[in-house]
């Protein structure tokens, strides 16, 4: 009868037991290197979709009746709604919409704008209603060749100026300009436009008075009115419209050997 080597049998049994113990965790968890489905799903969502929309500008001031473009970013790119606590929202696109402030809003009023996408992501921005565009002075009267300064406030800078009907402006941009009237009577329209397209307009009446830009000086008597010399009136005024201009006053008549003629006292503005 063959002898059984018990020592060898025991060693083999212990080796199989070790292998079984090592294999047990693998059998319980499975031999897969993939993440569990729920872990993968959360990771995939957080890396591809944002739950917050970004609205720009983050804050700004808009004049009553003016509009501003609000940009949208983030989320899933399909924007469904946009609301404002006051004012209106129009012309929505894939990346922006236009907000228009109410014309009767009080300066300093805050406006909260909220936008959302089809996945439920949302974002907000806060605007402030500013002051209305105001132009001063309104409907002034200016003497021929005289000057007047106009100022604008409120609205949204920068400002651009326009003029029709005669005269000139010292600048076409800025918050203040000086108007120089034409040399003859006229109605002149001055308009200022802010960056939102809002306008303010005034009409300047250029009258027939004189501006204090010089004084009249007597230069002599002449027997004919020179072309371009205006009539001063019964006597020379104390001030005149533009230096270098001339005017005449009828001074009576006399007789000489060749003909009778009317004489004029002629003045120049100095």
Question: What integer is the mean pLDDT of 10-16?
Answer: 47
Residue 127 · residue 61 · CB < 8 Å: yes
User: What is the spatial distance between Cα 227 and Cα 221, in angstroms, rounded to a whole number?
Assistant: 15
pTM: 0.52
pLDDT of residue 238: 65
Question: What integer is the mean pLDDT of 218-234?
Answer: 70
Q: How far apart, in Å, do the first and last CA atoms of the chain sit?
A: 152
pLDDT of residue 89: 92
Q: Is the pLDDT of residue 47 over 70?
A: no
Give the confidence band of 186 by pLDDT, cuts at 50, 70, 90: confident
pLDDT of residue 173: 95
CA distances to 183, 191, 215, 253 from 147, rounded to whole Å, are: 11, 16, 17, 39
Burial tier of 186 (Cβ tally within 10 Å: 0-12, 13-18, 19+): middle
Question: What integer is the mean pLDDT of 89-116?
Answer: 89
Annotated domain spans of the chain: 53-129, 134-206, 216-269
Do 53-129 and 134-206 share a fold? Answer: yes
Choose between 33 and 100: higher pLDDT.
100
Q: Is the pLDDT of residue 57 over 50?
A: yes
pLDDT of residue 239: 67
pLDDT tens-digit profile of 59-78?
888 888 888 899 999 888 78
Residues of the chain by 3-state class (helix, strand, coil), percent to 5: 15, 45, 45
Choose between 21 and 113: higher pLDDT.
113
Long-range Cβ pairs for the range 258-262 (8 Å, 24+): 261/223, 261/224, 262/223
User: What is the spatial distance between Cα 139 and Cα 187, in angstroms, rounded to a whole number?
Assistant: 10
pLDDT of residue 248: 77
Q: Is the pLDDT of residue 246 over 50?
A: yes
pLDDT of residue 261: 60
Q: What CATH number belongs to 134-206?
A: 2.60.40.10
Tally: H helices and E strands in the chain:
2, 20
pLDDT of residue 84: 93
User: What is the spatial distance between Cα 71 and Cα 92, in angstroms, rounded to a whole number?
Assistant: 10
Structure tokens at 114: 């909220």
**Structural fold of domain 53-129:** Immunoglobulin-like (2.60.40)
Q: Is the pLDDT of residue 222 over 80?
A: no
Give the confidence band of 12 by pLDDT, cuts at 50, 70, 90: very low
User: What is the spatial distance between Cα 149 and Cα 169, in angstroms, rounded to a whole number?
Assistant: 9
């Amino acid at each position: 009868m063959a002898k059984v080597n018990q020592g060898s049998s025991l060693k083999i049994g212990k080796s199989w037991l070790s292998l079984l113990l090592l294999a047990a965790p693998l059998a319980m968890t499975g031999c897969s290197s993939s993440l569990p489905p729920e872990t993968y799903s959360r990771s995939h969502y957080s890396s591809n979709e944002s739950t917050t929309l970004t609205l720009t500008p983050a804050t700004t001031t808009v004049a009553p009746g003016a509009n501003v473009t609000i940009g949208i970013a983030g989320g899933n790119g399909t924007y469904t709604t946009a609301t404002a606590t006051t004012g209106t929202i129009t012309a929505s696109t894939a990346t922006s919409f236009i907000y228009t402030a109410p014309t009767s809003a009080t300066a300093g009023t805050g406006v909260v704008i909220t936008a959302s996408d089809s996945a439920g992501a949302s974002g907000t921005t806060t605007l402030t209603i500013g002051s209305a565009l105001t132009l001063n002075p309104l409907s002034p009267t200016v003497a021929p060749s005289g000057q007047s300064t106009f100022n604008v406030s409120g609205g949204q800078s920068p400002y651009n100026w326009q003029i029709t009907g005669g005269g000139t402006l010292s600048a076409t941009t800025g918050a203040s300009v000086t108007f120089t009237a034409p040399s003859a009577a006229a109605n002149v329209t001055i308009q200022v436009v802010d960056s939102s397209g809002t306008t303010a307009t005034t009409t300047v009446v250029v009258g027939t008075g004189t501006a204090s830009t010089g004084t009249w000086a007597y230069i002599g008597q002449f027997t004919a009115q020179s072309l371009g010399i205006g009539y001063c009136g019964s006597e020379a005024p104390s001030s005149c419209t533009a230096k270098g201009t001339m005017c005449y006053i009828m001074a009576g008549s006399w007789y000489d050997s060749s003909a009778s003629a009317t004489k004029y006292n002629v003045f120049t503005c100095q």
